[in-house]
Amino acid sequence: MKEFAALYTALDQTTRTSAKTAALAAYFASAPEADRLWTVALLSGRRPRRSITTSRLRLWAAERAGIPTWLFETCYPVVGDLSETIALILPPPQTRIEASLSDWIADLRALDGADDAKRRDFVLRAWDGLDPTQRFIFNKLITGGWRMGVSQKLMTRALAQATGIDEAELTHRLMGDWSPDTTTWQGLIAAPDPQAALSRPYPFALAHQLDLAPDALGPVTDWLAEDKWDGIRGQLIRRGGSHHLWSRGEELMTDRFPELATLAQALPDGTVIDGEVLAWDHRAAHPLAFARLQPRIARKSVPARLLAEAPVIMMAYDLLEWEGRDLRAQPFAQRRAGLAQLLGGLADGVALRLSPALGAPDWAGLATLRAQARARGAEGLMLKRLDAPYRMGRHRGDMWKWKLDPLTIDAVMIYAQAGSGRRATLYTDFTFAVRDGAGFVPFAKAYSGLSDAEFRAITAWVRQHTTDRFGPVRAVRPELVFEIAFEGIQASPRHKSGVALRFPRMARWRRDKPVAEVASLDDLKAMLAQYG
Amino acid sequence: MVLEFREAGIYCPAADAYIDPWRPVARALITHGHSDHARAGHGSYLATRAAAPVMRHRLGDIRLATLPYGEVLRIGDARVSFHPAGHVPGSAQIRIEVAGEVWVVSGDYKTVADGLSEAFEPVACHAFISECTFGLPIYDWPSEAVLAQQINGWWAETRARGQTAVLGVYALGKAQRVLRLLDPGIGPILTHGAIEATNAVLRGQGIALPDTVAVAPGLDLAACRGAMVLAPPSALGSAWMRRFGPVSTGIASGWMQLRGVRRRRGADRGFVMSDHADWAGLNAAIAATGAERVFVTHGYTAPFARWLGEQGYEAGIVATEFGGEALDLPEVEPDPDRDTRNDTDPPLAARQSAP
């Protein structure tokens, strides 16, 4: 663990990307193979299964530190991280245990099925034999949720430096649901096994928000416009006689969407399609609200009732592989023609549709189509350059999101809660309300959109204007007014206000507005009637 | 009651005097020279002899009397004395005895000796008014030796990369404490005007400090590449910094114990160094007074009072307007070449750092 702790410290002690890359590359070049592989896994969001509950960890840590549990629970929100809280409150180590990162992980997994006393014994012994940084890492191995200030991209770049393998190729090799149990350093990175590549998705192409007038993009004929659909971006893979559906977050979603199984079987081997999974109203040929899709994301297996209530389709955007050939270097126009031909040959009623091209003679015409996007169940338009290859990641210039301006409403803050991590000492998570008769009714929570300076000022205000406390939540005097922006509004019987917003955030702190001018529940209901 | 808690501050009726008042009063007893404790506008001031030069430097022409540590002064019906608090040079706890009942106001204090401030001395009392800026068990300070190793190590690495190290520290106390830890063999030590002015005051009262060079117009900065620059935290990230070329930035503060705060401040390095007591220090100091009643001020007052209650003390909370160790940058960038007298003033957001 010493090498990994040193790596962690080196990464933690700098804000410069070049220094982080160099520290990682040096680690990848020298650490034992098993540790390297686990490091790649941890930094790409793959963590060992949780073998001990956090409630047990909290209890044992408080016991070991000799403090009451309420005091532990007071410290936790101040620190903003459970692993760090535990590492900070424990007494200094009494012994020194030398074991590698992969040894610790193996030991932790050996606790599967062990009784409580044995787990407790193991954890207390570990805490007593590790310095604070190593304790923090040990706790993180149990609780998961790594954030070492290193993106997967930065990690891949360092890996490319250390191995001499091309960064794009490495990015592709690291896709999919591998784990250090199912592969080795050799098998994954150094000399990959072609069999293992069968289920592997391609790195997704992502778009930037259009931040200039569309005329700046050149002739409208260079571009293909489509609706920007609000579902789950996915990649459907048909290879080696089976199919796989991946989310953009590289999560395997195959079993959650059984509708796509028959479709996938209708595709020939060696086919990969990029698209959007949407809940779909087949009769109206129109997408259902994103909220209808949400219960399907949450569950691994789908009951028949849910299948009937929120059936899905895949709206196809692009063809990445055909007859086993990687098409990503081809121009988009050619890939899209191939996709159209493929879909044209499928039987009617299959759960796969081509995302329609929206034609207009000029940018003004497209602007009109964009303004009507909400009526088609879309969030705006996507603009894709017809001669562009399919690039990985966010690349400026080939693909743009041209979203509708958000809906907005003025509301008052009524509850505040501290953030976590770097925002642990600030009140950043707020609940907003609109007027309802003489009182207020909460309708949205938001935690983004303001500057650190604004959060600091609001934090000071919250401390002075708290009227009640509910655990970590403070009720505050309803005085601060904010403009809340959101992408959509839906009826929701689960919420007191009767509505649920999509992507609410703070567009502005309206210091100029008195609370008497915030919107009312009737205003909100009018928006629901118009846009819901 | 020997002491009362009033709008203007902590008040002693027997002496008709306030301790570290935050509104103008006729007679003020001052624990130390930080600007949230020694404010302008009082009729008369009483402080320790060692605190006086800095107070005069910061507050100008004030009516200030001094008292050596341990010496008792009779004011009205009260017997008043000052005792070392270990916070910064000249800092004191104030002991007040009225008709045999003893109360002590801690001011800001630190129990571990830093080689600079007069070392903290526990004072037996019936009631103790204690700060608790860092009154949670997550705060546990490293030793001076470890800090010296960390800061000098960082400086040497920074210098080896051809960069200048800029460390954010408060002008009174922390800056001089760091100066005593620095290894002058590594390179030259530069100081911001606000810090150099305080250095001059402390040197003038006989406190030995290593040689420093004030950053002033005309200084050949190219020749100083690889230096250690001490600056108020507010100067970090300001236009004042640009003159140094490539830099590595550090902050020395108790708040650097928390990774989230370190990341939020965006400095390259955070050193856990505070002029306040950590959790163990607070608990040990309170136990050493033998007090039965403890009032806590400033910081995590609610949980700390509850904790003390569970340890068998009669514990209460006093609302004060002390800033303690400011967590955040002031909102306004300082004028770099001016002596920023109020650089220890906490920003609004940190006035009350209780969760």
Of B259, B300, B328, which has the smallest distance from its Cβ to A456's Cβ? B328
Amino acid at A24: L
Structure confidence at residue B330 (pLDDT): 29
Q: For residues A163-180, give the mean pLDDT.
A: 87
Q: Which of A67, A149, A456 has the CB atom closest to B349's CB atom?
A: A456
Chain A: residue whose CA lies nearest to B305: A71
The answer to whether A78 contacts B136, with C-beta atoms less than 8 Å apart, is yes
The sign of the CA dihedral A312, A313, A314, A316 is: negative
pLDDT of B326 reads 52
Show me where the domains of chain A are located. 2-143, 205-403, 407-531
CB contact under 8 A, A74 and B352: no
Is position B99 within any domain? yes
Our CA-based measurement puts residue A10 at a distance from the nearest CA of chain B, in whole angstroms, of 10
DSSP conformational letter for A252: B
Number of domains in chain B: 2
Helices B193-204 and B174-181, packing angle to 10 deg? 80
Has residue B266 been placed in a domain?
Answer: yes
Residues A453, B331: C-beta atoms closer than 8 Å: yes
Query: For residue B115, which of B82, B148, B93, B139 has the smallest C-alpha distance?
Result: B148
pLDDT of residue B349: 29
Judgement on whether residues B169 and B215 belong to the same structural domain of the protein: yes
Q: Does the beta-carbon distance from A418 to B355 stay under 8 Å?
A: yes
Q: Is residue B213 part of a domain?
A: yes
- Across the interface, do B137 and A67 touch by the CB < 8 Å criterion? yes
Q: A64 to chain B: which residues are within 8 Å by CB? A: none
Of A70, A81, A88, the CB nearest to B140: A88
How does the average pLDDT of chain B come out, rounded? 88
The pLDDT value recorded for residue B355 is 31
Half-sphere exposure of B355 (CA within 13 A, CB side): 26
Do residue B57 and residue B155 come from a single domain? no
Q: Which of A15, A65, A459 sits opposite B266 (nearest CB)?
A: A15
- Supply the pLDDT for residue A422: 66
B332: contact with A, CB 8 A cutoff: no
Whether residues A75 and B137 touch (CB distance < 8 A) is answered with yes
Identify the weakest region by mean pLDDT among A25-39, A285-299, B115-129: A285-299
CATH classification at residue B219? 3.40.50.10710
Question: Is B243 inside a domain boundary?
Answer: yes
How much is the average pLDDT of A464-476? 87
Q: Which CATH architecture has domain A407-531?
A: Beta Barrel (2.40)
CA distances from A437 to A440, A441, A492, B140 (A): 7, 9, 20, 51
Those of residues 47-86 in A touching chain B at CB distance below 8 A are 65, 67-68, 70-71, 74-75, 77-81, 84-85
For B109, which DSSP code?
-
Are residue B233 and residue B317 in the same domain, yes or no? no
| Distance (Å, whole) CA A105 – CA A109 | 6
B129 and B9 fall within a common domain: yes
This model's pTM is above 0.90: no
Are residues B202 and B111 in contact, defined by beta-carbon separation less than 8 angstroms? no
B202 in any annotated domain = yes
Q: Outline where DSSP puts E strands in A120-193.
A: none
Tell me, yes or no, if A422 comes closer than 8 A to chain B by beta carbon. Answer: yes
Asked whether residue B115 falls in the same domain as residue B207, the answer is no
Q: What are phi and psi of B4, to 5 degrees?
A: -125, 155
Q: Please give the Cα distance from B215 to B235 (Å, whole number).
A: 13
The C-alpha atoms of residue A180 and residue A204 are separated, in whole angstroms, by 23
Q: A457 contacts in B (CB within 8 Å)? A: 331, 348-349
Q: What is the pLDDT of residue A421?
A: 67
Evaluate if residue A418 carries a pLDDT over 90: no
Q: A526 — phi, psi (to 5°)?
A: -65, -40
Tell me, yes or no, whether B233 and B194 share the same domain. yes
Residue A74: list chain B partners with CB under 8 A.
136, 300, 303, 355
Contacts of A208 (CB under 8 A, 6+ apart): A394, A396, A399, A400, A401
Predicted confidence (pLDDT) at residue A348 exceeds the cutoff of 80: no
Based on the domain organization, do B17 and B67 belong to the same domain? yes
Q: Does A359 reach chain B within 8 Å, measured CB to CB?
A: no
pLDDT at A97: 94
**Number of Cβ pairs closer than 8 Å across A and B?**
89
Chain A positions in Cβ-Cβ contact with residue B136 (cut-off 8 Å): 71, 74-75, 78
| Residues B8 and B135 grouped into a single domain | yes
Q: Domain check: are B232 and B318 in the same one?
A: no
Residue B267 lies in a domain: yes
- CB-based contact, B347 to chain A, within 8 Å: yes
Residues of A in contact with B258 (CB under 8 A): 78-80, 84, 424-425
Residue A113: half-sphere exposure toward Cβ, Cα within 13 Å: 1
d(CA B218, CA B205): 29
Nearest to A424 among B260, B267, B352 (CB): B260
Does residue A459 sit at the B interface (CB-CB below 8 Å)? yes
CATH class of A205-403: alpha beta
B214 and B321 belong to one structural domain:
no
Contact B328/A at CB under 8 A: yes
Give the distance from residue B113's alpha carbon to the nearest chain A alpha carbon, in angstroms.
21
* Residue B6 at interface with chain A, using a CB cutoff of 8 Å: no
Query: Which residues of chain B make contact with A459, given a CB cutoff of 8 A?
Result: 349
Cβ contacts (< 8 Å) between A71 and chain B: which residues?
Answer: 136-137, 303, 306-307
Domain assignment present for residue B339? The answer is no
d(CA B304, CA B319): 14
Nearest-CA distance from B35 to chain A in Å? 20
Taking contacts as CB-CB distances below 8 angstroms, the residues of chain A near B300 are: 74, 78
Which residue from A minimizes the CA distance to B327? A425
User: Are B261 and A425 within 8 A, CB to CB?
Assistant: yes
Q: In degrees, to the nearest 5, what angle opens at C-alpha A115 toward C-alphas A111 and A116?
A: 100
Task: Return the closest-CA partner of residue A520 out of A447, A405, A414, A443.
Answer: A443
CATH of the domain at B85: 3.60.15.10
Partner residue facing A77 (CB), from B257, B349, B355: B355
Mean pLDDT over residues A197-207, rounded?
Answer: 89
Distance between CA atoms of residues B92 and B109, nearest Å? 8
Same domain, B178 and B256: yes
Domain topology for A2-143: DNA ligase i, domain 1 (1.10.3260)
Minimal CA separation from A23 to chain B, in Å? 15
Q: Which two tokens stand for residue A97?
A: 């245990």
Domain that holds residue B22: 4-139+275-328
- Is the pLDDT at A400 greater than 70? The verdict is yes
Task: Please check whether residue B4 touches A, CB under 8 A.
Answer: no
Per residue in B175-224, pLDDT tens? 999 999 999 999 999 999 999 999 999 999 999 999 999 999 888 888 88
Asked if B26 and B9 touch (Cβ cutoff 8 Å), the reply is: no
Nearest CA in chain B to A422: B260
Mutate: best of B136, B283, B301, partner A, most A CBs <10 A: B136
More confident residue, A175 or A231: A231
In a domain, B118, yes or no: yes
Q: Which residues of chain B have pLDDT under 70?
A: 323-355
* Whether residue B20 sits in one domain with residue B115: yes
Tens of pLDDT along A205-237?
999 999 888 989 999 999 999 999 999 999 999
Q: What is the pLDDT of residues A68-117, one digit of tens each?
A: 999 999 999 888 889 999 999 999 999 999 999 999 999 998 998 899 99
List the single range of A328-342, A501-515, B138-152 with lowest mean pLDDT.
A501-515
